[in-house]
C-alpha cells in the first residue's frame, strides 16, 4: 500500500523498515534517519515510526478527551479502504473505545497482522526442530548421555532426541509434550461428543460451572490421543533416577485451541 502511494519499490521499504532509516519524500528514496530534511529542516523520522507506529498512535488518540472520534477514525477507514468492513454506525458509537475496536479489528486483524506474519516468516516445525531439540534436551542430537545413565535409558534418550529433531508424528514415535501452563476452563464450555454423559470423579458428579484445568502445551514428538497413559515429569526430573519426580496420568480428552474456542480432537482425527 505504501509503495504504491509513495511511488517507490516495496523491497526498499521493507529493507529500511527496521533501523535508523527514513523515507525522504523529496527524493522518493530511503535515506539515513539522521539526515536533515523537510521544509523546517527537521530530522526525518524512522520509517517504522512514520509508517507503523504513528498511524496506530493517531487511531488511539480518539480516546483523548475532546478528540473528533468520527473524523479521525473516518479518515483511517477511507484511506485504507475499510468502508465495507466498518459501518458508519460503528464510528458513531458513544464510547470511543468501542469505535476504535471496530476499526482495529478491520484494519489490523490478529490472524493477518500477527499470525499470518508468523506463518510467513518463522521456520516450519520440521525446519526448526533440530535447533529446538538442542535447547529442549540440553544439547544437540548425538551428544553424550548424562553421566551414570543406564545403557537402556541412554538408547531411549537418543531415540527420543532423534524423533524430536525430525518432528516425528508417526504412531511408533514416543510422545513428548511440553506443557507451558495450565488453563482453568468451566466444564460447560468444553466440547462434548454426542452421547457423552456427565463427568464423574468417584461419587462426585461434575457440574457445568465446575472449573477444570487444561494443560496448554505443544507436541514435539509422537501423537497425543484420548485415553493415552503418559508420564508427567517435573522440572527436577533426572533420567538416571526414573522413579523420582514423575507421575502417571491418563489423557482424558485432547483439544485444539482455535483462538478463543476449543475444538475436540478424536482418536481418528489427530493432526
- The 10s digit of each residue's pLDDT in 143-186 is 787 777 788 888 888 888 888 888 888 888 999 999 999 988 88
Enter the pTM of the model.
Answer: 0.60
Q: Which grid coordinates belong to 77? A: 477507514
Position with higher pLDDT, 268 vs 28:
28
Range(s) for CATH 3.90.1430.10 in the chain? 2-111
Give the pLDDT confidence score for residue 235 in this predicted structure: 84
Fold of 2-111: Yeast translation eEF2 (G' domain) (3.90.1430)
Range(s) for CATH 2.40.30.10 in the chain? 125-269
Burial of 39 (0-12, 13-18, 19+ CB in 10 A): exposed
Rounded to an integer, the average pLDDT of 128-152 is 78
Which tens digits make up the pLDDT trace of 236-261? 888 778 888 999 999 888 998 877 78
Instruction: Answer yes or no: CATH 2.40.30.10 is held by domain 125-269.
Output: yes
Position with higher pLDDT, 1 vs 14:
14
Which tens digits make up the pLDDT trace of 48-76? 898 889 999 999 999 998 889 999 999 99
Please, which contacts does 173-176 make with residues 24 or more away whose CB atoms are closer than 8 Å? Answer: 173/221, 173/222, 173/223, 174/221, 174/222, 175/219, 175/221, 175/222, 175/223, 175/224, 175/228, 175/230, 176/219, 176/220, 176/221, 176/222
Amino acid at each position: 500500500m505504501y509503495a504504491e502511494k509513495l511511488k517507490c519499490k516495496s523491497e526498499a521499504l521493507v529493507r529500511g523498515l527496521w533501523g535508523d532509516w527514513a523515507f525522504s519524500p523529496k527524493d522518493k528514496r530511503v535515506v539515513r534517519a539522521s539526515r536533515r530534511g523537510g521544509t523546517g529542516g527537521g530530522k526525518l523520522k524512522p520509517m517504522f515510526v512514520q509508517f507503523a507506529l504513528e498511524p496506530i498512535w493517531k487511531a488511539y488518540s480518539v480516546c483523548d478527551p475532546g478528540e473528533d472520534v468520527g473524523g479521525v477514525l473516518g479518515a483511517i477507514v477511507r484511506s485504507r479502504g475499510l468502508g465495507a468492513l466498518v459501518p458508519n454506525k460503528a464510528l458513531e458509537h458513544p464510547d470511543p473505545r468501542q469505535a476504535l475496536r471496530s476499526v482495529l479489528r478491520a484494519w489490523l486483524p490478529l490472524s493477518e497482522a500477527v499470525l499470518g506474519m508468523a506463518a510467513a516468516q518463522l521456520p516450519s516445525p520440521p525446519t526448526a526442530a533440530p535447533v529446538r531439540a538442542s535447547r529442549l534436551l540440553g544439547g544437540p542430537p548425538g551428544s553424550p548421555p548424562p553421566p551414570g545413565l543406564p545403557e537402556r535409558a541412554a538408547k531411549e534418550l537418543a531415540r527420543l532426541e532423534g524423533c524430536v529433531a525430525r518432528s516425528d508424528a508417526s504412531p511408533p514415535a514416543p510422545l513428548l509434550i511440553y506443557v507451558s501452563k495450565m488453563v482453568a476452563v468451566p466444564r460447560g464450555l468444553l466440547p462434548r461428543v454426542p452421547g457423552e454423559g456427565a463427568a464423574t470423579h468417584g461419587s462426585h458428579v461434575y457440574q457445568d460451572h465446575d472449573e477444570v484445568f487444561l494443560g496448554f502445551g505443544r507436541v514435539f514428538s509422537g501423537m497425543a490421543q484420548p485415553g493415552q497413559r503418559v508420564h508427567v515429569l517435573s522440572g527436577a526430573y533426572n533420567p538416571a533416577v526414573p522413579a523420582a519426580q514423575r507421575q502417571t496420568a491418563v489423557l482424558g480428552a485432547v483439544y485444539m485451541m482455535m483462538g478463543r474456542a476449543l475444538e475436540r480432537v478424536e482418536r481418528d482425527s489427530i493432526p
